[in-house]
Structure 1
Amino acid sequence: MKSVIVAATLGALAVSAHPAPEAEARGPSLSDSTILNFALTLEHLEDAFYKLGLSRFNQRSFDNAGLPAGAREQFVQISQHESEHVAFLTGLLGSKATKPCTYKFPINDPKSFSSLSQVFENVGVGAYTGATKSLSHQYITGSASILGTEARQAALVAAYVNGVEGWGNAFNVIRPFLFLIAIVTNHLQLQQIPLTLSQAYSLAAPFIVKCPSSNPKLPVTVFPTLTIPSSANPGDTVPVTFKSNVGRGKQLFAVFLFGLGQEVVPIRNGRVIIPKNLAGQVYALISTSSSGVTDRTTVAGPALLQFEFDLEGRYIPNS
């Protein structure tokens, strides 16, 4: 099942592989309250998403959609988890806690609901993976515990509900500290691609209509949208579309974030060749740097690509 919000990414004539950068490592450090409020922002979104979907689609709707037996009950439990995550983070932050926003979700049936759930769970895993390293020691255990639950949810939705593999390769856990989290989560190998706050928020922003003016301000940038045909597959030459004056007249690069690293691909005449070695959920950004991408070099993105395999390891082509 392909994601309902697949919107972009790339590849190209000369592809170079790089380790994932310590994104913005030399930038100003983030406070614990900022990181926790960012996590709470995403948890509020997920909490609202599951409550809406479950209120809109009853068991008969799930049965008529042909989803596996028990799928709705799994979403009921996931919804309860997200509500508990909201309560946990709100308790840590107290009066500093961000409030829920108004949201819009493009869900018309249980299948679009389960497809978007898979996306949100993986984005949540990526956000926690990227942010946990910056937390003070006293908050790491709680964050790692939530990460483990989100990862299990992502695997369940992908494999049991949507019938696709829940990982892209054998090396999805990134950076030495995160191997500890892999142990905490029973070595579950998922798409734990670390995202910066701005990257994760840019993925969430299309679903956020308006937030209370009293909410703490987050140090994030919403990057311009990156779009490519949703029918794109590894090895295809595809157009990339984005609106930005950054880097105008310069050579720009498409950067694919996946697994243990990233693929950097030059853009030629507005088109790129998607690298053939990509699998699972991949994030793509446009960068001014041939060395990779940070928030400072980002022109557009991230965009999401789904290169999925069935439970027998066969690739499911996008069409």
Structure 2
Amino acid sequence: MFCKAILLAFSAASVVLGAPAPAQVTDTDVLQFALTLEHLESAFYAQALAKFDAQAFADAGFPDWVRGRFVQIGEHEAEHVKFLSGALGAAATQACEYNFPLDSPRAFAALSMPLEDVGDSAYIGAAQLVSDKGVLTDAASILSVEARHAAWVSSAVLKFQGWNGPFDSPLSPSAAFSIASLFVKSCPASNPPLPVKTFPPLTLSEAAPAHGALVGLTFTKPTGAQASAPAFVAWFDGLGVVFSNVTADGQTVVPPGLEGTVFAALTSVDSGMPTDDTLLSGFTFAQFPFDSHVDTP
């Protein structure tokens, strides 16, 4: 179900390119970016819960408390929107029109977990851009709630693991936006430019591939100076990055050892930490569920 739901999400979504990024990122820019993500999450829960009532969740095999918890998460996201909008005042980013693949309660649940992971990782990645310690504290308070959401959905609802590993992956604003924008149809022209660089989308042929599997990649080939650059897949797993080669026919072998929600993007380098200058595509995500296990001596 996870694989089908996520592939549907990426095949059905449309990409909206943002305005040019500000030359210098301010705390206001970061808050507007955070509000953009919170608007998306809030709309995601509002639309799904309006479409699927308690009986729909029951028919999908969920116990009655699952929908109730999703209602609470939706209220959290709406409160985040209210809080950030209040902080920004007249400069607040407005909600966009969205395109979520909400075919069933299970598809909704399968997509909610990685979306919460994106929110969590976006706050981590943007932390270094914040100069005001009060703003940073407020963002950290939201970040921890997003992480709890993701853990609950993954473990209690989807019956996967409750965490990815000892570290979560930081995503730059451009990286997080490249995923969020897949679910945006259009935005108000009055919205301020976000501190992001836009990239063409990347799709994996499997959203939950096996380690060592050969997976297909769908992406737009680079033009200009990057047209002849070699392509690699960078797999962001916690604070580390693992690379795999891209074949001439657009396939790659999934590296071993990846666990939980892992973000991936095409890059022209195969070492170090990829940057906006070395990325060849936007980000996608893959899921690598793992059982409880312990290492014995």
Assess same fold via TM > 0.5.
yes
Query: How far did residue 313 of structure 1 move?
Result: 5.2
Q: In the alignment, what sits opposite 1:142?
A: 138
What does residue 12 of structure 1 align with?
none
Q: 1:306 aligns with which of 257, 277, 287?
A: 287
Query: Which residue is 2:6 aligned to?
Result: 5
Matches within 5 A, 1:1-319: 1-3=1-3, 4-6=5-7, 29-135=24-130, 136-169=132-165, 171-172=166-167, 192-230=168-206, 232-246=209-223, 247-269=226-248, 270-291=250-271, 292-310=273-291, 312=292
Q: 1:168 Cα shift?
A: 2.2
2:237 aligned partner, one-letter code: F
TM-score where L is the length of structure 1: 0.81
SS in 2 for 1:70: helix
State the Cα distance separating 1:301 from its structure 2 match: 2.7
Q: 1:284 to 1:276 in 2, by over 3 A?
A: same
Deviates more, 1:101-110 or 1:240-249: 240-249
Pairwise CA distance, 1:29: 4.7
Tell me the SS of whatever aligns to 1:5.
helix
- In angstroms, what is the RMSD of aligned CA positions? 1.9
- Contact map agreement 2:214 2:251 (CA 8 A) in 1: yes
The number of aligned residues is 274
Deviates more, 1:261-270 or 1:109-118: 261-270
Looking at structure 2, the residues matched to 242 and 162 of structure 1 have their Cα atoms a distance apart, in angstroms, of: 29
Identify unmatched segments of 5+ residues in structure 2: 9-21
Paired with 1:52 and 1:303, the residues of 2 have a C-alpha distance of 23
Instruction: Please give the alpha-carbon distance, in whole angstroms, between the structure 2 residues aligned to 1:115 and 1:236.
Output: 22
Following superposition, the deviation at residue 95 of structure 1 comes to 0.6
Residue type of the partner of 2:232?
A: F
Partner SS, residue 280 of structure 2: strand
SS in 2 for 1:304: strand
Contact 2:170 2:238 in 1 (8 A): no
Over the matched positions of the two proteins, sequence identity in percent amounts to 40
1:250 & 1:216 partners in 2: Cα distance?
A: 33
> Within 2, Cα distance between the matches of 1:250 and 1:131?
28
In the aligned structure 2, how far is the partner of 1:49 from the partner of 1:239?
Answer: 28
Query: 8 Å contact 1:68–1:161 — kept in the other structure?
Result: no
2:17 matched residue in structure 1:
none
Higher relative contact order (CA closer than 8 Å, sequence separation 6+):
1
1 CA distance for matches of 2:94 and 2:251?
41
Measure how far apart 1:143 and its partner are. Answer: 0.5
Deviation at 1:229, TM superposition (A): 1.5
1:283 Cα deviation from its structure 2 partner: 0.8
Residues 44 and 302 of structure 1: CA distance in aligned 2, closer, same or farther (over 3 Å): same
